Amino acid sequence: MSGAPSIVQRRIAITALACVLAFALIGVRLLDLTLLRARSAIAAFPSAHVVASRADIVDRNGLLLARDLIVHDVSVQPYLLADRAAAARDLGMATGVNAQRLLHQFAEHDKPNQFVLIARQVTPDIEDRLTGLALPGLEFDPAMKRFYPQDRAAGQVLGQTDADGRGLTGVELGLDRQLRAGRSVQLSLDMRVQFALAHEVEAAREQYNAKAAGGIVINVNTGEILAMASLPDAASDLGDGAAGANPTRNRMLRDIYELGSVFKIFAFTLAVQDHTIRLDETFRIGSGFRIGRYTIHDAEHMPATLAARDILAQSSNAGTAQIALRSGPERQQAFLRTMGLLSPVHSEDPEGAKPLFPRRWGQTETATVGFGHGISVSPLSFVTAAAMVVNGGRRITPTFLKRSGDARGEQVISPEASATMRGLLRYVVTNGTGRLADIQGYDVGGKTGSAEKIEHGRYVAHKLLTSFCAVFPIDDPRYLVFVLLDEPHGANASGVMALAGHTAAPLAGRVVARIAPMLEMPTDAPMLAEAGGSP
């Protein structure tokens, strides 16, 4: 049956039409808010857009190190502002943005639905200030900002991201693809160890008024980096003479140094590996060792002769030069290449520095490289190679990611040579220059390094780079601690007292004493007697 629509049908049709019109208006508004506004915002500030959330970074124990949190980008429609000059002034005071720049942009975008981006990723306190201005046309858009809950701790390892959530430095850069894909990262860092290392290194830097300082703790069997400090790590900490220093730069990975006597580890490892010396064999030291037109001297007075083991223990340049020459240029160069010291070290931080070494590698270069001059490497590169010397002679790859189980690879040094070197490094601590690194109960082995720095092409005797490489427990190594002080001096470190045995060695010992209990390392120190007794 057909006929004119009933009243009910008319009401239904009117209601349906009203719904269609309402949805159409909503659609137009959404289009305005998305497409039109986006074009205006991009025109005012081309890089403005909401970024995707980056995944978390945690340490090996699950402690949060980095997380994206929702903040807001703030923008305004200049068309709605009654007093643009006053608005620009108030917005500038609230955000720190240049008011004149805002006023200029207001003039360029003064039509309806045109927006000017005021600031990106504003913090809640700034957002409160902006809200209190009660300006018309002020809008807040959700965005993401990277927060680091541990503040500056391990900041140079973690690195930085830009305003768009892209990694710029450190592991934020090296693991950028994984983090942007939303896959969280668990690092090898142990923040307990990190805090202890950074605290002791900073205390030593202040004690000796050093220009800079740093340190690394690495597991010699897995390659896991448990801690890495590079100080100063804030602009406010830069002292006199630090012009041009960059507190965000990770010196342990991005800088290279002539490390001096700590590098003797490799000359001795090669000699032990190739059986070119006997540990009880004596060498003439006297007043130095002459090679060509050069005479190699020692930093301290040495006896007329020294046994090979005492050449390492007392850190004789003249003796080490003779031992290195027995290996010869070609063999020395090939060995250092095998140990990874002639190429950049690779890790999850892609900014590892390239080493610097002689183009012409003759007898003189072989002698000086033997005691750590004429070759510059990054501390991480040195640490990786030194770990292979003591871990049974097997290759490791340094990593900032948590690993499980032994990660040692191919054999690069014989197990017998590795065992001999462990004994020699223990001897350095018990009978040589490393005595102040000896920590009762943990059988530390190690080596000192005191290198004269170069200025204007010449070595400067009173400007030293001191370091110490400590391994514990030396009979079955688990961890290696490396510390470095750049130009330690002052009342507590002048002349001989500025050498590594008096500056870097005790620093390494303090680090070992603090972190060994954290790492649940057993101690063979004698237990205290019952209360009231004596040790």
β-strand partners of 257: 377
Question: Angle at Cα 474 formed by Cα 471 and Cα 476, nearest 5°?
Answer: 115
- Closest by CA position to 272, among listed 335, 223, 315, 314: 335
Q: What's the CA gap between 16 and 8, in Å, rounded?
A: 12
Q: What's the CA gap between 135 and 468, in Å, rounded?
A: 61
Q: What's the CA gap between 421 and 279, in Å, rounded?
A: 11
- In this structure, are residues 389 and 411 in contact, taking their beta carbons and an 8 Å threshold? no
Nearest 5°: phi and psi at 419? -65, -40
Instruction: Please state, as a whole number, how many other Cβ atoms lie within 10 Å of the Cβ of residue 209.
Output: 17
Q: What's the CA gap between 189 and 227, in Å, rounded?
A: 6
Enter the tokens of residue 228: 């890495």
Q: How many residues are recorded in the chain? A: 535
Calculate the dihedral angle through the C-alpha atoms of 246, 251, 255, 256, rounding to the nearest 10 degrees. Answer: 140
Please identify which residue in the block is written with the tokens 């050498």: 499
- In this structure, are residues 478 and 219 in contact, taking their beta carbons and an 8 Å threshold? yes
Enter the tokens of residue 161: 């991201």
Nearest 5°: phi and psi at 160? -140, 160
Mind telling me the catalytic residues? 261
Q: What's the CA gap between 501 and 306, in Å, rounded?
A: 19
